[in-house]
């Protein structure tokens, strides 16, 4: 029944036993202990993960890991009478997808008396360990039929699935003889000797944090309002999966002025706040003045 319902949204899923939560935590801890990620990066990006059953579902037995194909969102905005364009990469606009996944699970499992709650876990690692996807050299999770343009979601349930999908991490075979992504990376954060990238040098990492961009980020490398698409666009495994959402989202000159003036989030107009919430960008608002500014500067320099 779950396969049928998730198939309607072209999604795939795997089921994992709750016993593997400690395996996930141990792997992340090992990355830090071995110096593969810095303590600062670990605290900023992994500190929110919870490696035990939620208090709302203390008798959780299984984790459902879901991959849903996603499209690129086109953005246009206006400043000083000029039109600018950028994108939001796949997976960043997620609220409706997450709600749809939960609705499907509640429809099937909830109607049988079981409970469902969201799992806050390292999604790429969980998806790869479950066999839902494989790592690319760029450390992204590639799901068959979706490439890396897949939104990953996970939910706990007190239903115990008969299948426990748990495997060793795998790198896509195509990556062993390909270096397109590492050559395309503007900050050279994709190594050839390991799967884990130098994440604290990744443009996505800088784009999602409030600090000024360091000098190692080339000014011409900015390509999205949040995140980065360099390694995904160049990837041969992604070419047939790239697609745009049909609608372009517009920020008017007045709306952009509120942002560029660093207007406190609670003081921006309601229509702008709603637009940011619909794009799941409301929490990223502190980074937007800087990110819009560098995109304006880049386009101006290219003219």
- The per-residue pLDDT for range 22-48, each reduced to its tens digit, is 999 999 999 989 888 888 888 888 989
Average pLDDT over residues 253-261: 98
Total length of the chain: 303
Going by their DSSP bridges, the two strands 244-251 and 72-79 should be labelled as: parallel
User: How far is Cα of residue 301 from the mean position of the Cα atoms in its chain?
Assistant: 29
Report residue 224: phi and psi, to 5°: -155, 155
Give one DSSP letter per residue of 241-290, joined into a string.
Answer: G--EEEEEEEE-HHHHHHHHTT--GGGS-HHHHHHHHHTT-STTGGGHHH
Q: What is the pLDDT of residue 195?
A: 84
* HSE (side-chain half, CA atoms, 13 Å) at 156: 22
Distances (CA, A) of 255 to 18, 66, 251, 292: 45, 35, 6, 12
Retrieve residue 34's tokens.
């071995």
pLDDT digits (tens, 9 = 90+) for 172-203: 999 999 999 999 999 999 998 888 999 999 99
DSSP H or E segment with residue 155: strand 150-157
Retrieve residue 140's tokens.
């992204």
Domain that holds residue 220: 2-302
Q: Which residues contact 46 (CB under 8 A, 6 or more apart)?
A: 28, 122
pLDDT at 170 over 90: yes
In three-state secondary structure terms, 59 is coil
Average pLDDT over residues 92-100: 97
Q: What is the pLDDT of residue 192?
A: 86
Average pLDDT over residues 258-287: 97
d(CA 183, CA 181): 5
d(CA 191, CA 186): 13
Task: Note if the pTM is more than 0.85.
Answer: yes
pLDDT band at 138 (very low <50, low <70, confident <90, very high): very high
C-beta neighbour count of 6 within 10 angstroms: 21
Query: What percentage of the chain's residues is helix, strand, coil (to nearest 5)?
Result: 40, 20, 40
d(CA 158, CA 59): 6
Overall number of domains in the chain: 1
For the chain, first and last CA: distance in Å?
A: 54
C-beta neighbour count of 19 within 10 angstroms: 10
pLDDT digits (tens, 9 = 90+) for 38-77: 888 888 889 899 999 999 999 999 999 999 999 999 999 9
Q: What is the pLDDT of residue 208?
A: 95
pLDDT at 303 over 90: no
Q: CA torsion angle for 45, 290, 229, 300 (degrees, to 10)?
A: -170
Q: What is the pLDDT of residue 35?
A: 87
Q: What is the pLDDT of residue 180?
A: 97
pLDDT at 90 over 90: yes
């Amino acid at each position: 029944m779950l396969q049928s319902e998730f198939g309607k949204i072209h999604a795939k899923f795997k089921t994992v036993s709750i016993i593997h939560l400690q395996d996930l935590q141990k792997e992340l801890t090992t990355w830090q202990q071995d110096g593969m990620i810095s303590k600062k990066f670990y605290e900023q990006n992994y500190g929110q993960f919870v490696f035990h059953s939620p208090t709302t579902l203390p008798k959780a037995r299984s984790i459902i890991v879901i991959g849903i194909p996603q499209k690129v969102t086109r953005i246009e905005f206006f400043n000083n009478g000029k039109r600018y364009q950028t994108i939001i990469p796949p997976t960043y606009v997620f609220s409706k997808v997450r709600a749809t996944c939960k609705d499907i699970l509640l429809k099937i499992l909830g109607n049988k008396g079981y409970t469902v709650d969201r799992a806050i876990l390292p999604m790429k690692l969980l998806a790869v360990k479950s066999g839902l996807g494989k790592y690319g050299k760029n450390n992204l999770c590639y799901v068959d039929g979706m490439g890396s343009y897949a939104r990953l979601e996970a939910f706990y349930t007190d239903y115990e699935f008969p299948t426990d999908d748990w495997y060793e991490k795998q790198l896509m075979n195509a990556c062993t003889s390909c270096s397109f992504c590492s050559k395309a990376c503007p900050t050279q954060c994709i190594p050839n000797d390991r799967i884990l990238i130098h994440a604290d040098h990744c443009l996505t990492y800088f784009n999602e944090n409030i600090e000024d961009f360091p000098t190692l980020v080339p000014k011409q490398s900015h390509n999205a309002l949040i995140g980065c698409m360099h390694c995904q666009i160049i990837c041969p495994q992604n070419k047939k999966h790239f697609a745009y959402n049909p609608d372009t989202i517009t920020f008017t000159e007045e709306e952009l002025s509120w942002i560029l003036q660093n207007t406190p989030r609670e003081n921006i107009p309601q229509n702008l706040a709603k637009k940011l919430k619909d794009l799941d960008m409301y929490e990223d608002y502190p980074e937007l003045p800087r990110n819009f500014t560098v995109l304006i500067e880049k386009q101006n320099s290219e003219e």
